[in-house]
Amino acid sequence: MSRLGIGLAILLISIGAAASQKPGNSSPAAYRAVIDQYCVNCHNADDKIAGLSLDTLDISNVGANSGTWEKVLLKVRTGMMPPQSAPHPTQAMRDGMVSWLATALDRAASARPNPGRPLLRRLNRTEYANAVRDLLALGIDTSGVLPPDDSGYGFDNNADVLGVSPVLLERYLASAGKISALAVGDPDIGPAGQTFRIRQDASQDRHIEGLPLGTIGGRLAETTLPLDGEYLIQVKYFRTNLGAMRGLEYPHQVEITVDGERVHLGSFGGDADFKAALENITLAADSAEERSEARVFLRAGPHAIGVAFLDEPGENTLRLQPFIRSSNDTLDPTGHAHIDRFTVTGPFHPTGPGNTPSRRQIFLCHPAASATRQEEEICAKKIINNLVHRGYRGMDSKEDSGRLLEFYQKGREGGSFESGIEMALQRLLASPKFVFRAEHDPANAAPGTVNRVSDIEMASRLSFFL
């Protein structure tokens, strides 16, 4: 017989044996006598050894003290009680009591289930990013704005350990400001840089998935640009511990792409650069990096920016097999060039917020330039009601929309219609109803009763789980 057949046979035998075991036919009074004979001598109201008193408990109603009886069942089943120095019941008596007590506890739990109470849950970094993406059609990297989450039992979504500190509250407020400005397209956003690094031990002599065919090394980075304007893409190469750049003895071409389209092709290396490196290693590396940067006009919104080398077959004429990792030696100035990082800086000379997925998600309407404040507020209410209902996961109220409308009005007083919407959105992203998930008892629920989770709360659970 195969191992699978043997395993199935053992499983069926086990199931049959378990099904054939019936609860003991003795009455609770009989097991009360067993407890009085073998347990109460130590576990009584006077001695109360280990803080346990069994002489006053009603064994005919184990559900009233299920926690205590669970402990008794565990100790008796494993043979830990009675202790070795005390008299013991027969094995048949022990088995009968274990079977009867387990059945009584199961019946009590079925009659009055107690699933416990769900805790107030804070969104961890991943859940926060997913919630922002679903609300605003905006992908964000939370690792740069929120601290790492604590974990319990190997999980970083354990409500018991997802605490809140003053520093974390400040980070949530700061991230809400950055996200709202990026989603709306705040015209006051100044030039800023995003740096994308490549691991030093990553081999850069083979193709990277997602980059154009015919390229090797480099990296593809997903980013969202806030405004239409000019952006500077700068490539920095790996240098040795002495500051020498690798790969200058052979000619190389580095390609910069945006959404799969080439925007720059830079060249470096060869005889001239190699001779220059012998005279001044720092100036030679700086010159190669200057030829590997591009200033291009890009539209606001999500983009995939890639930097990679063009593959040049036949460059290596050595007959020895190359190392699997092309960065095996950090002191060797020869060998293949390595991209250390690249930076996207901008916008310069911005021309507007563009037509991004985030703006299409937010602005269900937009008042005309000649609209009155009252007409603007009608549109603002429509936008805010939609954001509140989706951002608070259907747990919103009229007071929530009214509170955000006040923030819109404050933002509108000092700026434009869009700056008012931006301030309302910032308030929403920092709201406890967005950052936390809470499940409420029904309004007419009696204290201590068990209630069903509502449909929308169950949908929220599944949504975050998936």
The answer regarding whether domain 192-313+329-352 maps to CATH 3.10.130.10 reads: no
Three-state secondary-structure class, residue 302 = strand
Q: Average pLDDT, stretch 408-434?
A: 95
pLDDT digits (tens, 9 = 90+) for 265-281: 999 999 999 899 889 98
Amino acid at 104: A
DSSP code, position 394: T
Q: CA–CA separation, 178 vs 425, rounded Å?
A: 11
Looking at residue 31, its pLDDT comes to 84
Q: What percent of the chain has pLDDT over 90?
A: 52
CA dihedral 59, 63, 68, 71 (to 10 degrees): 100
Q: Which of 367, 361, 360, 393 lies closest to 381, judged by CA?
A: 367
pLDDT digits (tens, 9 = 90+) for 297-315: 999 999 999 999 998 765 5
pLDDT digits (tens, 9 = 90+) for 351-405: 999 999 999 999 999 999 999 999 999 999 999 999 999 999 988 898 999 999 9
Looking at residue 331, its pLDDT comes to 55
| Domain regions of the chain by residue span | 22-110, 115-186+354-466, 192-313+329-352
Task: Kindly report the average pLDDT of the chain as a whole number.
Answer: 87
Q: Which of 205, 196, 197 lies closest to 328, judged by CA?
A: 205
pLDDT band of 450, cuts 50, 70, 90: confident
pLDDT band of 231, cuts 50, 70, 90: very high
Q: Average pLDDT, stretch 76-105?
A: 88
Whole-structure pTM value: 0.76
CA distance readout (Å), 323 to 6, 205, 312, 320: 48, 10, 18, 9
pLDDT at 330 over 60: no
pLDDT digits (tens, 9 = 90+) for 404-420: 999 999 999 989 999 99
pLDDT at 202 over 50: yes
Top-confidence range, 75-89, 152-166, 174-188:
174-188
Looking at residue 249, its pLDDT comes to 86
Looking at residue 30, its pLDDT comes to 84
